[in-house]
């Protein structure tokens, strides 16, 4: 008898597309402890303040908050610990070469559970937007809303 997995967990970083110009996208796994995946399945995680960095040819995520799992009691995890991202060496070398350019960074945009039940993180190589770029984004968003209102 197969257990049906609830795969509709999608935790987004809503500020990412406003603050950055998103470029190359990578989907990667996360190295988690037992109680962390249970909290993610309950939707008790946040990547709003998280960022990625590279250390010793490995990609890590910092400030990702996964709330404690209440039923784990003694075996609970630390909510804001650094977590290793699972990527292929070829992907890491591509990321490193792009991050050498000035103004580029690595931003997490989406935390989701795939069809096999594994937690995956979508990251983008991104470039920070200037103030006038942010204003332009707001104008475009307002124009789309106005068109949608008139079509209703």
User: Tens of pLDDT along 98-109?
Assistant: 999 888 999 999
pTM: 0.79
Residue 25 resides in a domain:
yes
76, 68 contact by CB (below 8 A): yes
The yes-or-no verdict on residue 117 having pLDDT over 90 is no
Domain enclosing residue 130, as ranges: 10-151
**Number of domains making up the chain:** 1
Residue 4 resides in a domain:
no
Q: In this prediction, what percent of the chain has a pLDDT beyond 90?
A: 45
Residue 71 resides in a domain:
yes
Residue 3 resides in a domain:
no
Q: Mean of the per-residue pLDDT values for the chain?
A: 87
Residue 2 resides in a domain:
no
Q: Which of 56, 63, 138, 42 is nearest to 108 (CA)?
A: 63
Instruction: Enumerate the H helices of the chain as residue ranges.
Output: 16-19, 34-41, 89-99, 131-151
Residue 5 resides in a domain:
no
Residue 1 resides in a domain:
no
Instruction: Enumerate the H helices of 10-121 as residue ranges.
Output: 16-19, 34-41, 89-99
Residue 114 resides in a domain:
yes
The yes-or-no verdict on residue 84 having pLDDT over 80 is yes
CATH at 70: 2.40.280.10
Counting DSSP H helices and E strands in the chain, the numbers are 4, 9
């Amino acid at each position: 008898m197969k257990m049906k997995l609830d795969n509709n967990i999608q935790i987004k970083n809503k500020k990412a597309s406003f603050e950055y110009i998103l470029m190359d996208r990578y989907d990667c796994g996360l190295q988690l402890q037992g109680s962390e995946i249970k909290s993610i399945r309950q939707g008790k995680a946040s990547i709003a303040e998280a960022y990625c960095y590279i250390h010793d040819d490995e990609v890590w995520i910092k400030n990702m908050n996964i709330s404690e799992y209440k039923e784990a009691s003694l075996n609970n995890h630390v909510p804001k610990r650094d977590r290793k991202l699972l990527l292929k060496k070829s992907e890491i070398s591509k990321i490193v070469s792009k991050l050498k350019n000035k103004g580029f960074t690595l931003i997490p945009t989406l935390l989701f559970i795939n069809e096999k039940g594994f937690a995956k993180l979508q990251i983008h190589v991104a470039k920070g937007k200037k103030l006038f770029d942010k204003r332009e984004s707001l104008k475009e968003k307002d124009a789309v809303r106005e068109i949608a209102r008139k079509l209703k």
